[in-house]
Amino acid sequence: MRLPSPLVLAPLAGILSLTHALDLDIASVDSVRSTASTLAYDMMTYYSGNQSGQVPGLLPGPCQSDACYYWWEAGAMFGSLINYWEYTQDDSYNHVVTQALQFQIGPDQNFNPPNQSRNMGVDDQDFWAFAAMDAAEANLPDVGGDAPSWLALAQAVYNFQSALWDAATCGGGMRWQVFSFNAGYNLKNTISNGGNFQLAARLARYTGNQTYADWAEKMWNWIEGSPLFYRQDNILYIWDNTDADKNNCSDVERHAWSYNYGTMLVGAAHMYNFTDGAEPWNTRVHEILEGAFFLFFPQEYGGNIMTEFQCEPTSICNNDQSSFKAYLTRWMAVTAVLVPDTWDLIMPKLQASAQGAVKQCIGGENGRKCGRQWYSTTWDGSQGVGQQMCALAVVGATQMNQALVPKSAASGGTSKSDPGAGGDASTAPDIQFSAITTADKAGAAILTILVVVALVGGGIWIIL
């Protein structure tokens, strides 16, 4: 299914004329696809990186305004468009996704571009690597030529991050920031360490290589042994961060965010699948899931509607936090197909949340911009990339099925492996299939894309 012309991408703003609230019937594939298409369109009105003179891959920002976004959220957005393609079969944005992901790879082809060094957290890099893994697991075609494959980009991030293990403080783990001059370098947080765990687990499953699985186990053990994991009354609380410099990680900042649960959940689900359901991964999956249900699906709103309880009820979510539910949503949906006995637990919550999300998409200048509070039918007054991404993720997730199980090399995945990607083979596992050559890597700092720009009806069209 391809909604615009098969030869060109339609402008990302200015052609839809819908000005009314969305009408979703989750029992109808056509309804879900139509709704998701509108949500994706409205999300991409915030993006101009495919227009002449703009930088591919960047959203406006960063700055303190809610009109600006950090680099990582753009990577997450492109990952969401890969998921959108999987859920709806609409490939309208695939060229934009490919262009953006390849443009932001950086000189070492590991999503570490120099112009983002002031914002380079381990987690920021992870979200671009997640998008690359989404592409590999969905069989988005590799670009070919000198461009790195999707799998190689994720492997390069893994190789780079392996050197960031910090045994000198807190018994291990990784600091939040890659570079010591960035604020937050003193912290070791869940999304960075959990993101690295997730990446290693997904690489283990995709490649079948035990070295990645061993690293994932090492990372899990550190997180579980740190104050980031806390159990009380049979509930697992996953806290946000701990301070390596001030107290050697002896206490913790007690905020619980949905994406921290999501990254640990889907990593554990991939390890469950990689180990053919061996314990303790099934137990770990269910413990995380039960904690997520308790915290983010409160009985106050019926028990099936997702909420970012730390900030939504008081309307204080920032742009980062406004996107967090998108990741828990996607990663719950993937867990449902990787760990079959979670399906009946997860899907009713995603379906109810999708219906709630669409009822919040009633604001803004077009009358259908999405807010955050899915438990309310009154628009909460917020809008932005994160709100659109969350609604898009949960509406699309209602279409998850066994045909959409993430692919691996053993199940039809075609992205080429490069275990030494990123230029440092010292941390690379010994994987023997489909590696691109050193000569291929040498010329791949930036993908060469032929862009033909034409002005049509006052809008900018980009043909890739």
- 159-197 pLDDT tens trace: 999 999 999 999 999 999 999 999 999 999 999 999 999
SS3 83: helix
- pLDDT-based confidence at residue 445 (cuts at 50, 70, 90): very low
DSSP string across 288-308: HHHHHHHHHS-GGGTSSS---
Does residue 177 fall inside a structural domain?
yes
Q: What is the pLDDT of residue 20?
A: 59
Question: What pTM did the predictor assign?
Answer: 0.88
Q: pLDDT value at position 166? A: 98
* pLDDT tens digits, 360-403: 999 999 999 999 999 999 999 999 999 999 999 999 999 999 99
369 domain residue, yes or no? yes
Q: What is the mean pLDDT of the chain?
A: 89
pLDDT of residue 104 exceeding 50, the answer is yes
Is 24 a domain residue? no
Is residue 88 in some structural domain? yes
Q: Is residue 363 part of a domain?
A: yes
Distance of CA 196 to the CA centre of its chain: 13
Structure token pair of residue 354: 């999708």
| 325-346: b (≥16 Cβ within 10 Å) or e | bbbbbbbbbbbbbbbeebbebb
Cα–Cα distances in Å, from 379 out to 258, 315, 383?
22, 12, 10
Q: Which of 342-346, 423-427, 428-432 has the highest mean pLDDT?
A: 342-346
Q: Give the whole-angstrom CA distance, residue 91 versus residue 371.
A: 26
pLDDT value for 431: 36
Domain holding 358, by residue range, is 29-422
Residue 430 lies in a domain: no
Residue 70 falls inside a structural domain: yes
Q: Is residue 455 part of a domain?
A: no
Count of structural domains within the chain? 1
Give the model's pLDDT for residue 63: 86
Overall average pLDDT of the 339-358 stretch = 98
Amino acid at 111: F
